[in-house]
């Protein structure tokens, strides 16, 4: 159930692994972009060792647990505004070290992401921005994708597409691998197999770190659950995006990978997955072409997960959902 206040709700089942209250505020100063990227366009076991940047604000060097906040698809102005308002607060309250957000709908019209939006999200705490089927909707973002920095797109698109979907990042003394792939079931794009792509990416990432996080951007729950099992024990966390609806199946898989089918979205609560319901309903009722518009009306909803990862083993310790309603 959703609360009508601006507080974070713990929605997981009763368990000792679910914190009933957010963590205390961290005294550690926070840099807007403490993560520095190093990417591999073609995963290879011979890729160079990644130097650890000295320019970052780091968690304690001997951090034994990495706490990461993952936000679902930000939808247009409403989603970005909600993220900007709450992301750093949540990071402080959870005492998290890393924020990953899916930005495939972050542009004002809900399609793709613009360079201006990327800058704004980074300024408000987004360390890594993942993508999806809308990653190429804004040409303005292509130069940023080509930088192969902290803006990712699904890795299983053709290599000719701008950007990459596999990254190795440093956070203090930690190395963190991130894989962004897109599913193929009920998706329009004719792209490579996300399972095999992830296998290929792991041949490199596993030589560098055991902390590996995967954003599986897909429509079908079964395909996302399938990737979770496929990668169980080989990555730290697999979370799904794209449907804009948070699922309630967060858990630790048998071999230690944290998993949730979909982490949801940030956008207008009373729209339809972030769009004005009138436009979506018109299409559903008439089957005529209708131009969807993002909904910008409050209240807003922001959903995602907080996940704890053992930095020594790379296994997930906890996966917990959060839901914020902003009136
Ligand atoms: Fe999508
Ligand atoms: Fe989306």
Ligand nearest to the CA of 107: 2
DSSP state letters, 13-32: PS-TTS-SSPPPPP-S---S
Residue found under tokens 């990668």: 231
For ligand 2, the distance from its centroid to the CA atom of residue 49, given in whole angstroms, is 34
Which position among 39, 86, 123, 134 bears the catalytic label?
Answer: 134
Which pLDDT score is estimated for 27?
A: 29
The pTM assigned to this predicted structure is 0.84
Identify whether the C-beta of residue 274 lies closer than 8 Å to the C-beta of residue 73.
yes
Instruction: Classify residue 172 as left (phi > 0), alpha (psi -120 to 50) or beta.
Output: left
Q: Phi and psi dihedrals of 19, rounded to 5?
A: -70, 130
Element holding 68 (H helix, E strand):
strand 65-71
Q: What is the pLDDT of residues 238-288, one digit of tens each?
A: 999 999 999 999 999 999 999 999 999 999 999 999 999 999 999 999 999
d(CA 274, CA 178): 26
Taking residue 232's Cβ as centre, other Cβ atoms within 10 Å add up to: 17
Which pLDDT score is estimated for 8?
A: 38
Domain boundaries, given as residue ranges, for the chain:
65-268+294-326
Q: What is the pLDDT of residues 165-174, one digit of tens each?
A: 999 999 999 9
d(CA 108, CA 117): 9
Q: What is the pLDDT of residues 224-246, one digit of tens each?
A: 999 999 999 999 999 999 999 99
Output b/e per residue, 72-106; b: 16+ Cβ within 10 A.
bbbbbbbbbbbbbbbbbebbbbbbbbbbbbbbbbb
Ligand nearest to the CA of 182: 1
Ligand nearest to the CA of 106: 2
- Domain 65-268+294-326 sits in CATH 3.60.21.10: yes
Q: 52: Cβ–Cβ under 8 A, 6 or more apart, which residues?
A: 170, 172, 173, 175
For ligand 2, the distance from its centroid to the CA atom of residue 244, given in whole angstroms, is 6
134 catalytic? Reply is yes
For ligand 1, the distance from its centroid to the CA atom of residue 254, given in whole angstroms, is 28
111 has pLDDT over 80: yes
d(CA 145, CA 129): 10
d(CA 100, CA 231): 19
Which pLDDT score is estimated for 61?
A: 54
For ligand 1, the distance from its centroid to the CA atom of residue 277, given in whole angstroms, is 18
For ligand 2, the distance from its centroid to the CA atom of residue 104, given in whole angstroms, is 6
Which pLDDT score is estimated for 244?
A: 98
């Amino acid at each position: 159930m959703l609360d009508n206040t601006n507080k974070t709700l713990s929605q997981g089942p009763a368990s000792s692994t679910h914190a009933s209250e957010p963590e205390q505020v961290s005294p550690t100063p926070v840099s807007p972009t403490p993560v520095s990227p190093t990417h591999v366009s073609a995963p290879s076991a011979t890729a160079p060792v990644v130097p650890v940047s000295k320019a970052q604000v780091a968690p304690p060097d001997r951090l034994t647990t990495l706490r990461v906040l993952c936000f679902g698809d930000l939808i247009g102005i409403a989603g970005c505004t909600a993220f900007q308002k709450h992301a750093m607060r949540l990071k402080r309250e959870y005492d998290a070290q890393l924020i990953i957000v899916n930005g495939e709908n972050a542009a004002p019209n809900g399609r793709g992401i613009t360079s201006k939006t990327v800058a704004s999200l980074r300024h408000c705490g987004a360390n890594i921005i993942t993508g999806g089927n809308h990653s190429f909707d804004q040409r303005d973002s292509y130069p940023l994708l080509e930088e192969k920095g902290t803006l990712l797109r699904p890795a299983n698109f053709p290599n000719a597409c701008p950007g990459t979907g596999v990254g190795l990042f440093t956070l203090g003394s930690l190395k963190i691998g991130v894989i962004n792939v897109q599913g193929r079931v009920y998706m329009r794009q004719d792209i490579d197999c996300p399972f095999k792509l992830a296998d290929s990416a792991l041949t490199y990432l596993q030589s560098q770190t055991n902390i590996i996080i995967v954003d599986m951007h897909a429509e079908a729950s079964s395909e996302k659950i399938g990737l979770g099992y496929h990668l169980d024990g080989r990555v730290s966390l697999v979370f799904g995006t794209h449907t804009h609806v948070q699922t309630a199946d967060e858990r630790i898989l048998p071999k230690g990978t944290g998993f949730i089918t979909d982490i949801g979205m940030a956008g207008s609560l009373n729209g339809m997955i972030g769009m004005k319901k009138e436009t979506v309903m018109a299409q559903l009722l008439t089957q005529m072409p209708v131009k969807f518009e993002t909904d910008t009306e409050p209240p807003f909803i922001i959903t995602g997960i907080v996940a704890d990862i053992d930095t020594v083993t790379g296994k997930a310790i906890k996966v917990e959902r959060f839901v914020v309603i902003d009136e």
